Every structure is written in structure tokens, then in C-alpha cells.
């Protein structure tokens, strides 16, 4: 059987419904919520603030620190044990690298900008949702940014290329699957996060990235709208 129609009735390039809101956590210097389908991310930004211990300080520039965390009840199966695991550590690191290129922290030597990404509910694409939330939260914190960062997972299920895989597609068993999370700076079209697991040809990869770029453009519009909702002068 080939994968002719998506299990969830979406079109091949159709994203799940998105909800985005900026300024959702009062105590943070910047915050945002990004929900795509059943995947739900909060991000808050604290800083620039003093960085301790002192040996971690960089006298040339501020540093960015990102932490990705799934809440214990956010997985569809068993409870997720709280605290950092290997997966969360890696995602924190790649998310940090995905966001850093749009920031200029030279103005804030010896300081840190902390980004905390929390997921109350997940169903595939959680690192991408986290990056979208984080990028809006950084803008909400008033930091100088070259661009936003939009992220989505694209992939191949059987012989089809599609956008924003959900859990049923990631777990598709009747054919090969490739899951490719991508983060982009929508204005320049440059890629700041790229991962892949599964199997795919290099032609399909090129096409999938093209679809990801187009989808990131649409996500970018949603993110801009959410920011304008908070900041536009009436």
C-alpha cells in the first residue's frame, strides 16, 4: 500500500492548526506560546542578566543559554521522568545554535540571555514548536534581532514528501519514513537547524527542504501577526 492520502486528511503541504501568542508569562522579560496541532510550547526569556559562575562569562559578548524540557505529563505514553535526559540536552543545544544567528549579544558582555522552553503537551515536532516560541519570546524581550527563526519538520512517508509530520506519520510502518526538522531565518532563507533520521535520497531531501522553506514562510507570518497583536499601535 502506498501512502496516497495522509492519515489525518491533511494536504501534503498542509500544516496543523497553529495558535501563537506573545507575552503570556508576566514575570519573564519576554515570553510566548506556540501551539501546532497537539504540540504545545511555552518559552520565556530572562536577561540579559549577570552570568555566574564568573568563569563562564565572556568579556567580548553576552551568551545565549537555551533549555528544552518536556513536562512529566506531556508525552502520550508513560510519564516522562523530570530532569535533563540525553535527548533534552541535545535538543537544548541544537535549539541554542538555531537561535543564535539572529541575535547580536556583543552589547552585553559578561551577561547571559536565558531561554526556557517548556512543553505541556507534545505530539511530534516539539523542538520546532519550541524554537518558534523561543524566537517570538526573544523578540518580546526587546533584543536586537536580524530576523525571527521559524521551524517545522518535513519528511518523507513511503513515497510522499510532506510537511509537519504528526505522530501517526512518524510511526508509519508500511514504508520508509524520514523525519527532517528544519529551522530557518525566513527573510534570508538560511538554515539554522537541520536534523534528519530515516532514509531519503538527496533529490528528495532537496525537495523536502524546499517544502520546509515554504512552510516556514507561512509560520513566520503567524509569528509576526502574534507579535503585532501585542505591539501594534492602535
Partner 1 sequence: MYNELRSHVLKLLKADTRLDGRRATEYREPIKVEQGIICTAEGSARVTIGGTQVMVGVKLEIGEPFPDRPDEGTIMVGAELLPLSNPDFELGPPSIQAVELARVVDRGIRESKAVDFKSLCIEPGEKVWLVIIDICPINDAGNLFDASALAALAALKNTRFPKVEDGKISYKEKTNKGMKVVKDPVSVTVCKVGDALIVDPLTEEEKIIDARLTVASTADGTLCALQKGGSMPLSVEDVEKMVAIGISKGKELRVALER
What gap in Å lies between CA 34 and CA 119, rounded to an integer?
10
Choice from 11, 19, 50, 76 touching partner 1 (CB under 8 A): 76
Choice from 17, 53, 59, 77 touching partner 1 (CB under 8 A): 77
Sign of the C-alpha dihedral computed for residues 165, 154, 221 and 10 taken in this order:
negative
Least separation in angstroms between residue 42's CB and partner 1 is 6
Least separation in angstroms between residue 76's CB and partner 1 is 5
Whether the bond into 48 is cis, omega within 30 of 0: yes
Site string for partner 1, 92-131 (x = CB under 8 A): ----------------------x-xxx-xxxx--------
DSSP string, 64-116: EEEEEEE-TT-SSSSPPPSS--HHHHHHHHHHHHHHGGGB--TTSTTEEEEEE
Among residue numbers 25 through 64, which ones bind partner 1 (CB under 8 A)? Answer: 25-28, 38, 40, 42-44, 46, 49
Q: Kindly indicate which of the ranges 10-18, 70-78, 182-190, 206-214 contains the residues binding partner 1, using the contact rule CB under 8 A.
A: 70-78
Least separation in angstroms between residue 36's CB and partner 1 is 14
In 3D, which of 138, 110, 137, 128 has the Cα closest to residue 164?
128
What gap in Å lies between CA 224 and CA 139, rounded to an integer?
10
Residue 135's H or E segment, with its range, is helix 126-140
**8 binding partner 1? (CB under 8 A):** no
Q: 70 or 154: whose CB is closer to partner 1?
A: 70
Least separation in angstroms between residue 207's CB and partner 1 is 32
What gap in Å lies between CA 101 and CA 206, rounded to an integer?
23
Contact 69, 117 (CB under 8 A): yes
Choice from 8, 57, 67, 195 touching partner 1 (CB under 8 A): 67
Counting residues that bind partner 1 (by CB under 8 A) gives 34
What gap in Å lies between CA 154 and CA 206, rounded to an integer?
11
Sites of contact with partner 1 (CB under 8 A): 24-28, 38, 40, 42-44, 46, 49, 67, 69, 71-79, 82-84, 114, 116-118, 120-123
Amino acid at each position: 500500500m502506498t501512502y496516497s492520502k495522509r492519515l489525518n486528511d491533511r494536504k501534503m503541504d498542509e500544516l496543523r492548526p497553529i495558535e501563537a501568542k506573545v507575552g503570556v508569562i508576566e514575570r519573564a522579560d519576554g515570553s510566548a506560546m506556540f501551539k501546532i496541532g497537539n504540540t504545545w510550547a511555552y518559552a520565556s526569556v530572562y536577561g540579559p542578566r549577570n552570568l555566574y559562575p564568573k568563569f563562564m562569562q565572556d568579556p567580548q559578548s553576552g551568551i545565549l543559554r537555551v533549555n528544552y524540557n518536556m513536562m512529566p505529563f506531556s508525552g502520550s505514553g508513560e510519564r516522562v521522568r523530570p530532569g535533563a535526559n540525553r535527548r533534552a540536552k541535545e535538543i537544548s543545544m541544537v535549539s541554542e545554535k538555531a537561535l543564535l544567528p539572529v541575535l547580536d549579544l556583543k552589547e552585553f558582555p559578561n551577561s547571559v540571555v536565558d531561554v526556557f522552553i517548556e512543553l505541556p503537551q507534545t505530539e511530534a515536532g516539539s523542538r520546532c514548536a519550541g524554537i518558534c516560541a523561543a524566537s517570538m519570546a526573544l523578540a518580546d524581550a526587546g533584543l536586537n534581532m536580524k530576523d525571527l527563526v521559524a521551524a517545522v519538520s518535513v519528511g518523507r512517508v513511503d513515497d510522499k514528501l510532506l510537511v509537519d509530520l504528526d505522530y501517526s506519520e512518524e510511526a508509519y510502518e508500511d514504508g520508509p519514513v524520514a523525519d527532517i526538522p528544519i529551522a530557518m531565518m525566513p527573510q534570508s532563507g538560511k538554515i539554522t537547524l537541520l536534523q534528519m533520521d530515516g532514509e531519503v535520497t538527496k533529490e528528495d531531501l532537496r525537495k523536502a527542504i524546499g517544502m520546509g522553506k515554504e512552510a516556514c514562510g507561512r509560520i513566520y507570518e503567524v509569528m509576526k501577526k502574534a507579535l503585532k497583536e501585542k505591539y501594534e499601535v492602535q
